[in-house]
Chains A and B, each alone.
Chain A
Amino acid sequence: MPAKQINDLHSLMQKSGLWRASSIECECKQGFSSGYPALDQHLPGAGWPLDGVTELLHEQQGIGELQLLSPALARLSREQTRHILMISPPYIPYPPALHALGIDLASILVVQANKNKDMLWALEQALTSKSCSAVLCWPKKINDKQIRRLQLASKDSNTWNILFRPTHAIRQASPAELRIHLSPAKYASLNFHRSIHLKILKRRGGWESDELKIDFDDHLNQQTPDFSELIIPTTDNVDYETKTQRRPMALPAFPAIAG
C-alpha cells in the first residue's frame, strides 16, 4: 500500500466518530448496567438501553428470562419513582420472589389484558404516559410495524420496553433496539446452579454476538448492586399510618398454562 494511502488511513483513524466494525463502542448513550459484567461488555453503552425496545426471544418459560432482568429492575424500582408495568404476564409475578430479588413491590403494577389488541393498546398507553420506567410485555402477536411504533414511543418517553417473544420471531425483521435470544444452559450436575445462554442478535453499532453464558449464582463474576445501603422496608421503619386504605380485589384471571 502506498505510504500516502496509509497516512490517509491513519488520519482518518484519528478522527472521532469513525466506527469500526470490530468494536461495539459507538456514540450511544450510557446503558443501564445489567448487573452482569459479562453481559454489560457486550451491550452497547455497557448496559441495557433504557429507552427503546428490547426483545427477548425464548422458547420455554422458566429458563431464567426474568431473573436476567432482575438486577436492573431492582435498581430501577429503587432509583426511580416511576412504575414498572407488567402487561399480561403469563402467570402471577410472585411477590415473595420479586421481593427476594430486591425489587420494590410498590413500584410494580400488573395489567391484565386478555385480548391481544387490548394488550398492545395498554402497552402503547403505558409508553406514551411517561409514568413508567420499564414496561414488560408478553404479546401474543406483534408485527414489525407495531414494534416500530413502540420503539418511537419508548424513545420519546424514556421508557424501557421489554418484549418477551417466542423464538420463531427470529425470522421476523424487527426495528427493536436490542434483540437477544435466550436458551437454557445445558446442565450436567444435579445442583441448583443456574445459568443462561444468550446470543445478541441485534444491537446498536455491533454485529451479532457469539453465544454468551451468564451465571446467575456466580457471585465472583457478578456485581450485584449493593442493596444493604438502600432502605429495605422492615416492620421497624414502616409508618403504618401512611398506608392508604386497601380494597380487597378479586384474583385476576391468568391464562391457563399452555403446553
Chain B
Amino acid sequence: MKRKHNDDLWLCLHFPQLPVEIFTRGKTEKPVVVTVKQRITHMNSIAMTLGMQVGSSMDTAYVLCSNIVCFEKDHDKELLALNFLAQWAYQFTPNVALKSPASLLLDIKSSLNLFGGIENIKTQLQKGLLHLGYSAVLGVHHTPLAAHISAKTALPDVAPLHDTPIEILDVEPRILESLQKMGMRSLHDTLALPYSGLTRRFGVFFADYLQRLQGEKPDPQKFISEQPSFLSEITFLSDVTNVESLVFPIRRLLQEFCEFLMARQLKVSTFSFTLSHRSHKPRSFSIHLAEPESDAAMFLLLTQLHLEKINDVEEIDSIRLSARQFLSTIALSGDLFHGTRFQQKDGRMTSLADAENSARLTNILNARLGQDACFGLSLANDHRPEKAWKPVQQGSLELGDAEDNHRPLFLLPQPRALSSHNGKPEFSGDLLLLQGPERIDCGWWDTPIARDYYVARHPAGALYWIFQERPRKPSQALSQELPQKEQPWFLHGVFS
C-alpha cells in the first residue's frame, strides 16, 4: 500500500453509546433504552445485563424489567451533543471535524509535542470524556477515514486495516451487497482489485473512497470553527421536584463551562440557566456579574443564591446552561516579591484583591436583592433637584456641576405634600422658614417646575428643605380677580 500522507496522524473519537449517553451522561443506576418506533436501538450497560436486546420491542423490555427508562431517539440532541464534544475537543487541537452520526476526527499531528506523545493525548481524552459522562472508542491512523475505521473496530494505533471486514466500510448498502456477492470478505480482498474495474462497476465514488482511505488522495475535512457560544444540558431520568437537589448537576455544568472558558481564555459577564419539563413551559433565569469572571466557585455561589428565590417550579426534567457573550481575559502579571497585584485606577494604585472583593460583593448583593439593588451615585447637570443626580452602575463615574447653594443630604424620591395654616407650612408642628426663597424655575423642555425653596426648621430641631409651588401662569393668575390662591407646600429634603 503506498501512502502519500503517511506523516499525518488522525485520531477518531467514536461514540457508540451516544444516543443513550445524551440522556444519562454516564451516571445512572437504572436501565435506560433508546427506541425508534418502539424498537430498542441502543441501551446502557445495566439494560444489557438484564438481557435486553437490540431490535426487541418495548413490551419485551417491560417484561424483563418494569422500572426501565425509555427515551425516543433524538437526532437533534445527538448532533447538539456531538457539537458540544467537538468544542470540548478543541482544547486538544484546533483541527476538529464532525463525522456524523457519532464520531469526531482530530488532527493531532501538530499537538503531539505539546501533549507529550500520543498516549498522553489518549489518556487525557479518555479521562475528560469520562468526566463529562461520555464513553468513546479511540482510533488512530494516518488518514481520517482509516482512523474512523480503526475506532469503529477498536484496532490498536496505526494497525494495518487489511483484515477489516467490508461491512465496516462507510459505503452504500448496494455496493456492500455487490461486494459480498463477489466473495469479498475483507478490505484486503477489495484492495487487490484494480481501480479501473472498481470504478466501472461501482462508480467513481467508491474508488475515490478507497484512495482517500489509503491516503493516496487528499481528504480535506471541514473543521469546526471556534464556537462563540456555550450550551450544555443535563437530562434527569426522573423528575426533580426540589430545587436544592439541582446543585450537583449545576456544579457539573459550571465545571464544563469553566473548562470551556479556560480553553479559550475568556471571561463571561452573563449566563443563563433554563429549567424545563416536558409538561410545562421552560423557566429560565440569568445571572449577571458586575465584572467579567471565570471562576466556577463564584458562579456556583451566585446560582445558589438565585435558586433560593425560585419557588414556583414544580418539576424539572432537564437543565441547560448557555452563554453567548464573552470577553477575553487580560493576563495580569503578579508582583514578583509580594504576590499582590495592582492596577492603576483614577490615578490611585488599587490592589486587585480589593477590586475583586468589591466586584464579588456587588455580584452577591445583586444576585439576592435584584439586578438594580446596588448602585452608585452621580451628579447630573440639571437645576431641577430631582434631576441633579442619577443612579449609576458601580464603577462608572459621571461628573456634573454641583450647585453652590445649600443642599440637603437626603432627598425625598417624591415631594411630600405638607398641610399649611394661614399660608405657613406645617409638618407635625409649625415649620420656621430660615433661608430662602431660592427660586428654581426651569425644565420647560420636558417636565417644567416652578418652585420657591426654603430651608425650614421643625420645632423639634430638624432642618427640612421645603418648597412652595409657584403659580403656573403668573399672567393669568394676576389678571383674574381671584385672591392669591394659596399655593401648596411640599417637603423635598432632609438636612440629615
Interface residues of A, Cβ cutoff 8 Å to B: 59-67, 70, 81-83, 89-101, 105-106, 108-113, 118, 121-122, 125-126, 129-132, 183-187, 190-192, 194, 231, 233-235, 238, 242-247, 249-254, 256-257, 259
Contacts and interface: CB of A to CB of B under 8 A. Distances in A.
Contacts of B345: 81
Nearest to A112: B373
Contacts of A101: 409
Given A95-B402, A96-B402, A111-B365, 6 more contacts: A113-B369, A113-B373, A194-B463, A252-B391, A252-B413, A256-B414
Please list the 9 inter-chain residue pairs (A to B) with the smallest Cβ-Cβ separation, ordered nearest first.
Answer: A184-B461, A62-B462, A131-B357, A131-B358, A91-B410, A62-B494, A129-B361, A97-B407, A95-B389
Contact of B398 (A61, A243, A254, A259): A243
Contacts of A121: 368
A126 B395 CA distance: 17
Interface of B: 345-348, 350-351, 354, 357-358, 360-362, 364-365, 368-369, 372-379, 385, 388-399, 401-404, 406-414, 416, 428, 432, 434-435, 455, 457-458, 460-464, 491, 493-496
A245 B398 CA distance: 10
Contact of B461 (A83, A187, A244): A187
B428 A259 contact: yes
Q: Is the interface of A mostly helix, strand, loop or mixed?
A: loop
Contact of A126 (B361, B392, B399, B496): B361
Max chain A C-beta neighbours (<10 A), residue from B348, B399, B460, B491: B399
B379 A252 contact: no
A82 B359 CA distance: 11
Of B350, B413, B435, B464, the most chain A CB neighbours within 10 A belong to: B413
B494 A61 contact: yes
B494 A129 contact: no
A244 B376 contact: no
7 contacts: A100-B402, A109-B362, A109-B374, A122-B368, A242-B346, A244-B393, A246-B392
A259 B365 CA distance: 30
B365 A122 contact: yes
B409 A94 contact: yes
Contact of A250 (B372, B401, B407): B372
A250 B371 CA distance: 11
Given A93-B409, A111-B365, A249 B372 contact: yes
Contact of B391 (A110, A256, A259): A110
Contacts of B360: 129, 131
Contacts of B414: 256
Nearest to A81: B350
Contacts of B464: 62
A161 to B, nearest CB: 14
B396 A91 contact: no
Given A95-B379, A106-B397, A191-B434, A81 B495 contact: no
Contacts of A97: 407-409
A105 B377 contact: yes
Contact of B399 (A90, A186, A235, A246): A235
Contacts of A186: 461
B440 to A, nearest CB: 13
A67 B495 contact: yes
A249 B434 contact: no
Contacts of B398: 243, 246
A53 to B, nearest CB: 19
A247 B395 CA distance: 11
Contacts of B364: 125, 129
- Interface-centre pick from A81, A98, A250, A256 (highest chain B CB count, 10 A): A81
Nearest to B434: A192
Contacts of B457: 187
A140 B385 CA distance: 28
A210 B398 CA distance: 44
Given A62-B410, A185-B461, A190-B434, A95 B388 contact: yes
Contacts of A257: 412, 416, 491
Contacts of A111: 365, 369, 373-374
A66 B496 CA distance: 5
Contact of B365 (A98, A125, A185, A194): A125
Given A93-B410, A125-B361, A251-B413, A67 B396 contact: no
A253 B372 CA distance: 11
A158 B495 CA distance: 29
B403 A246 contact: no
Contact of B377 (A67, A98, A254): A98
